[in-house]
Amino acid sequence: MKKIIAVDGPAGAGKSTVSKIVAARLGYTYIDTGAMYRAVALKILQTGKPAEDVTGDIDIKLDDAARVFLDGVEVTKEIRTPEVSRGASDVAKFGFVRKKLTELQRAMAIQGKVIMDGRDIGTQVLPNADLKIFLTATVDERARRRFEELKAKGNVTDFEQVRKEIILRDKQDSTREIAPLAKAEDAILLDSTNLTIEQVVAEILRLARS
The candidate with the shortest Cα–Cα distance to 33, out of 90, 98, 94, 110, is 98
User: Angle, to 10 degrees, between the axis of helix 33-47 and the axis of helix 82-91?
Assistant: 100
Q: Are 41 and 91 spatial neighbours (Cβ–Cβ below 8 Å)?
A: yes
Identify the pLDDT of residue 66.
Answer: 79
Q: Are 152 and 144 spatial neighbours (Cβ–Cβ below 8 Å)?
A: no
Identify the pLDDT of residue 161.
Answer: 93
Identify the pLDDT of residue 111.
Answer: 83
CATH architecture classification, 4-209:
3-Layer(aba) Sandwich (3.40)
Cα 39 to Cα 111, 199, 205: the distances in Å are 24, 30, 29
Give the chain's length.
210
Residue-level pLDDT, tens digit, the chain, 210 residues: 889 999 999 989 999 999 999 999 999 999 999 899 999 999 999 999 999 998 888 889 888 777 899 999 999 999 988 889 889 988 988 999 999 999 989 998 988 999 999 989 999 999 999 999 999 999 999 999 999 988 888 876 789 999 999 999 899 888 888 888 999 999 999 999 999 999 999 999 999 999
The pTM for the full model equals: 0.84
Q: Are 190 and 200 spatial neighbours (Cβ–Cβ below 8 Å)?
A: yes
Residues 6+ apart with CB under 8 A from 178: 92, 93, 94, 95, 98
Angle at 159 between CA 153 and CA 164, to 5 degrees: 115
Q: In this structure, are strands 73-74 and 131-136 parallel, antiparallel, or unpaired? A: unpaired
Identify the pLDDT of residue 145.
Answer: 93
Task: Write down the domain spans for the chain.
Answer: 4-209
Identify the pLDDT of residue 124.
Answer: 93
